Structure 1
Amino acid sequence: MIYLYWYLGVGVAVLAVVYGAHRLTKEKESEFLRDLLDAVNPDRKKLSYRILNNVVAPVLTAILVVAVWPVAVYMKAKEMLQKKDGTEIEKEREFAVERQHLQERLTVQEVERREVVTDPLKAVPELPFGHLNAAWQEFLNGHVDGGELWSFSARWQTTWGRKELRSGYVVVRDGAPCAHFLTVWKNILDDTDGEAKQAH
């Protein structure tokens, strides 16, 4: 029985170290991203959702770490060795709109007329961007003031070599593209192939 106590005691110590390291290295969720996620999924604001994600999930994770701490130690050691050897997994490049991607300067009204969703079955609200109208309004409230609104279209290659087409609208200030709102995100099968499949 004494071995079980020792095992669980070491597990608690490992949990404290892992939690502390996570808190020090965790990147804070941006306010715009949080607002966008809240607009797309209103359940995020509900108390039950917050309890499940901020209380239940961390408690279950803590119990799991204490129970199988040797696995956590092994994974952390492997990660540290990879960093030391220079074989760390390369981070995905972050997409950003560039000046050459700009297409047409538009007003908010022109964009909204262009993007009204008309669904004969009335499953989608007849609003600009349909179900994403709340996210569009958040985008407008947070970024458009004092800038120009442009449409853009960009061919983008990810770190892993996957080719994508990304289109939408971007705020331009002093000639520099800033925050953008994506409306199209497609994988491109081939540069010479006109067909593209919708990304999941």
Structure 2
Amino acid sequence: MIALYLVAGLTVSLILYGFNTNSETNKSTFRLKKLIPAVVLTSCFWPVVMMLITFEAMPKPKARKPAISYKDLILPVNIESVEHSELIKDPNAIAPDLPFGHLHSKWQNLKQKTDDKNMIWAFKTQPKQQSNKDIVEGYALVDSNKQIVDYLVTAKYKENYSGNGNTAIH
């Protein structure tokens, strides 16, 4: 970004110098007529460039991962039945029919981690009513110590607490 700023300044300077040397008019008047707009434009735009440099240098915010605990687990699931129920079929037959669609590779990674000690469970987080947090659903890999090793989020939505009963907003 700094290089772009310097190149732009050098280009403007060379253009102004070219106009200044080819002029048949009074050199001091011509120089003043070209210098004032250049100074004004530079004064107006250098703070914008400095702000862009500052914003570019700032660290990017990290996406928060949902907190999933053992109490959010619903029940262990059969991999074949999950793949059957989560099969995404493209009506135009452009994309292949795969479980979880664009999340298929993440599902494969989760599925490969299963063994005799690790099982896949369905989960659904419960929001706190006072903060109206997101509800997250998906599948989690749980080890024999009932610790969540990894998970795949398949749905995320807000729960509406006003009125009679809960209605999900997708």
Whether the aligned pair in 1 keeps the contact of 2:122 and 2:140 (CA below 8 Å) is yes
Whether the aligned pair in 2 keeps the contact of 1:117 and 1:124 (CA below 8 Å) is no
Q: Percent same amino acid among aligned pairs?
A: 26
The residue aligned with 1:97 is 68
CA shift digits 1:17-50 (9 cap, x unpaired)? xxxxxxxxxxxxxxxxxxxxxxxxxxxxxxxxxx
Count matched residues: 125
- Between 1 and 2, higher relative CO (CA 8 Å, sep ≥ 6) is seen in 1
Distance 2:157 2:78 in 1: 25
The alignment yields a C-alpha RMSD, in angstroms, of 4.1
Give the number of the structure whose residues are more often helix, by fraction: 1
1:191 CA drift (Å): 6.0
Amino acid at match of 1:153: K
Whether the aligned pair in 1 keeps the contact of 2:114 and 2:120 (CA below 8 Å) is no
TM-score normalized with structure 2 length: 0.54
Distance 2:3 2:118 in 1: 46
1:147 aligns with 2:122: no
Please state whether the residue corresponding to 1:155 is helix, strand or coil.
coil
1:188 CA drift (Å): 2.3
Q: Residues 114, 185 of structure 1: CA spacing in aligned structure 2 closer, same or farther, 3 A cutoff?
A: same
1:146 CA drift (Å): 3.9
Structure 2 spans left out of the alignment, 5+ residues = 9-45, 52-61
Whether the aligned pair in 2 keeps the contact of 1:163 and 1:189 (CA below 8 Å) is no
1:128 CA drift (Å): 0.7
Distance 1:188 1:139 in 2: 27
Structure 1 spans left out of the alignment, 5+ residues = 1-59, 76-90
Amino acid at match of 1:130: G
Amino acid at match of 1:172: V
